[in-house]
Structure 1
């Protein structure tokens, strides 16, 4: 089965505290939607040092997947908090995707995240839409 045949969502979450039951809301939810033309990775919640591994795992799996296109969309509309560690991880994931001949596009970043990118200069070279 190729990515082209898969249209379901993959969802991963990070519990608030280690050892906490899965009944609580995760700090970060990652959804990967494989469409026929490109993968869309949608983040909801807080992107910080405690949840970076979820973004890394998601974009690593997208880079390894056999997708027909060379674009990967990172939908940031649901981000409620992001620190500089989160921005640096986005930058590192973009580099990983570039090594796999794919381009990361940041989509619908909230105003506070766009401001953080502008202030810090981190991830500002990544395409924003």
Structure 2
């Protein structure tokens, strides 16, 4: 069973993922993401809290990348938090650890000021930003 709990915070929104993010469940992340993208610029960061994520397949990765690009087009950032070791390894093998800003927990991700550490989708603002990794 998979779920996305959406929690609005002062500095942005947190999507708390629970269960297996795969082909059958990815629609729930798409729906939550579509609602958030519709809010447009100025609505703060979107933090995907992965503490309860037990599995992620290529469909889940695709959904996270799509959300990343959709938010970047609205001048917003996607940050990941509490990524479990099995999923972190998948990100490392695929190079996505160089794409996503990863934080120890949702609080740290919300508190981040973005000072050049948040990744932006290529071509969205014409500038390159450092690809530094955050402490996990």
TM-score range, shorter chain: 0.7 to 0.9
**1:97 paired residue number:** 71
CA gap of 1:88–1:52, structure 2 versus 1, over 3 A, is same
Q: Which has the larger radius of gyration?
A: 1
Distance 1:35 1:95 in 2: 22
Computed over aligned residues only, the root mean square deviation of the Cα atoms, in angstroms, reads 1.7
Counterpart of 1:57? 31
Using the TM superposition, give the Cα deviation of residue 66 of structure 1 relative to its aligned residue in structure 2, in angstroms. 6.0
| TM-score, with length taken from structure 1 | 0.73
Q: Report how many residues are paired.
A: 103
Tell me if the contact between 1:48 and 1:83 (Cα under 8 Å) persists in the aligned partners. Answer: yes
- Aligned-partner Cα distance in 2 for 1:93–1:85: 12
Structure 1: gaps (5+ residues): 1-26
- Of the structure 1 ranges 38-47 and 62-71, higher mean CA displacement relative to structure 2 is found in 62-71
Task: Give TM-score, length-normalised by structure 2.
Answer: 0.70
Q: Deviations over 1:32-75 (max 9, x none)?
A: 00112211111000000111111011011111126754311010
Counterpart position of 2:88:
114
Deviation at 1:122, TM superposition (A): 4.0
How many angstroms apart in 1 are the aligned matches of 2:71 and 2:100?
12
Higher strand share: 1
Partners of 1:45 and 1:78 within 8 A in 2: yes
Match of 1:21 in 2: none
Aligned to 1:85: 59
1:73-118: per-residue Cα shift (whole Å, max 9, x none)?
0101100111122112101111011111110001111010000111
Unaligned 5+ segments in structure 2 are 104-136
Match of 2:123 in 1: none
